[in-house]
Amino acid sequence: MTSTTLYSPLTAPLKQDATIIGLVGLAHASSHFAHLLLPLMFPVFMQEFGLSYSELGLLMTVFFVVSGLGQAAAGFVVDRLGARPLLFVALGIFVLASGLASMVNGYTGLLGVAALAGLGNATFHPVDFTILNQRVSPSRLGHAFSVHGLTGNLGWAAAPVFLVTISSLYHWRTAYLAAAAMYVGILLLLILQRDKLSTQVMLRQADGQAEHDMAFMKLPVVWWCFAFFLLSTMTLAVVQVFSVSILKAMHGIRFETATLMLTAYMLCSALGILVGGFIAASRASSERVVAISMSVGALLLGLCGTGLLGAVGTMVVLVGTGFAVGIGGPSRDMMIKLATPKGATGRVYGMVYSGLDVGFAISPILFGVLMDRGWYGTTLLGAAVVLLLSVVAALGVGQRTAK
């Protein structure tokens, strides 16, 4: 296999970099939108199909297990075939998943949607970061990673507005058809701009290539990165899945108000990511920025777990947690870039970011045990401890990264 054209990101004009960053950001937002394709309709599925909470929870486990396994494998394919083909395939899978969701008549169909959507989601991190690292000027990578994280949060924020609004005005099946149409539109746009998304691929060697492809897995820094993503995502999953119920149980906060807090958390996290992009671009020590932001976030989350802040205080501090953690997002991505061996971007990002899927898959199960026992404050305190453990992992990455 021959390599594609070599790029010269050092000389890339601002308009070209901005276009590439915007296109990749749109793709990333679409993947985060897909995270919520099913959960937003859980109340509808319970009523129409008579499903239990356990059955609904299994749908998301299927999604993230498929995504995690697929993400680790997708990195190898990205390095071999380039990022662009997998990006187009992933968006096509989202079209199919949304279309199938509009036609399901029971739990089996929903399991199929979860698996399909998880498969589509699997490619995005190795694809996105391969494109950004190869096509964006090094001096603008900090801002590129910031926009990447920001658009992911916006994808999460857009999903409820899009799906719930259309569902309430028409029907939930219509909402899924509209989602399929949206993905078709995004796919067509990216195809029209495909020249901005091409990447260099690896040269295939006849002897010992399989062993060479797997060599990165022997590097301890890769597994420290994996551990960081797993631990930090476990905490995010607690906030996303349980914070509304915790606020209601501990402080009697109304469901609508608690949901607004979660939206504010996501928006402040996005603001933190935007600020963090300037910090990352300043070439500050990536692992130290991550360690400080995660430590502050853990402290704030622990304070919420004590129950001493009251209803309003707890909501305000929880929102502040999102801002603190968000600041570390772009530096986190820079940290992974520095730890990645040359020519292994797709494989390393695929393996490392699969830790995100593992964290999302296991956290609701582990912390759900505490929730079932009514240990709501302990759930938040436990999430804070896990976030502190991610600080240890980040510092471990820094110690094992060549400066």
Query: Which residues, 6+ apart, have CB-to-CB distance to 251 below 8 Å?
Result: 307, 310, 311, 314
Length of the chain in residues, anyone?
403
- C-alpha to C-alpha distance for 101 and 175, rounded to whole angstroms: 10
115 within 8 A of 383, measured Cβ to Cβ = no
393 burial type by CB count under 10 A (0-12 exposed, 13-18 middle, 19+ buried): buried
Here the tokens at position 41 are 């309709």
- C-alpha to C-alpha distance for 384 and 367, rounded to whole angstroms: 12
Structure confidence at residue 364 (pLDDT): 78
Structure confidence at residue 190 (pLDDT): 95
pLDDT tens for 128-172 read 888 988 888 888 887 888 888 889 888 887 888 888 889 889 999
Q: Which residues of the chain fall below pLDDT 50?
A: 1-6, 8, 206-207, 210-211, 403
5 burial type by CB count under 10 A (0-12 exposed, 13-18 middle, 19+ buried): exposed
Task: Indicate the helix (H) or strand (E) that contains 73.
Answer: helix 53-81
pLDDT tens for 346-401 read 667 777 777 887 888 888 778 888 887 888 899 999 999 999 998 888 887 767 66
CA atoms in the 13 A half-sphere facing the CB of 302: 11
- C-alpha to C-alpha distance for 16 and 160, rounded to whole angstroms: 32
Of 225, 280, 237, the closest CA to residue 393 belongs to: 225
Return the number of other C-beta atoms located less than 10 Å from residue 187's C-beta.
20
Task: Indicate the helix (H) or strand (E) that contains 354.
Answer: helix 345-372
Structure confidence at residue 345 (pLDDT): 61
349 within 8 A of 129, measured Cβ to Cβ = yes
Here the tokens at position 14 are 């601002």
Which domains occur in the chain, in start order? 13-197 (1.20.1250.20), 212-399 (1.20.1250.20)
Of 286, 176, 278, the closest CA to residue 225 belongs to: 286
- C-alpha to C-alpha distance for 315 and 158, rounded to whole angstroms: 22
Identity of the residue numbered 326: G
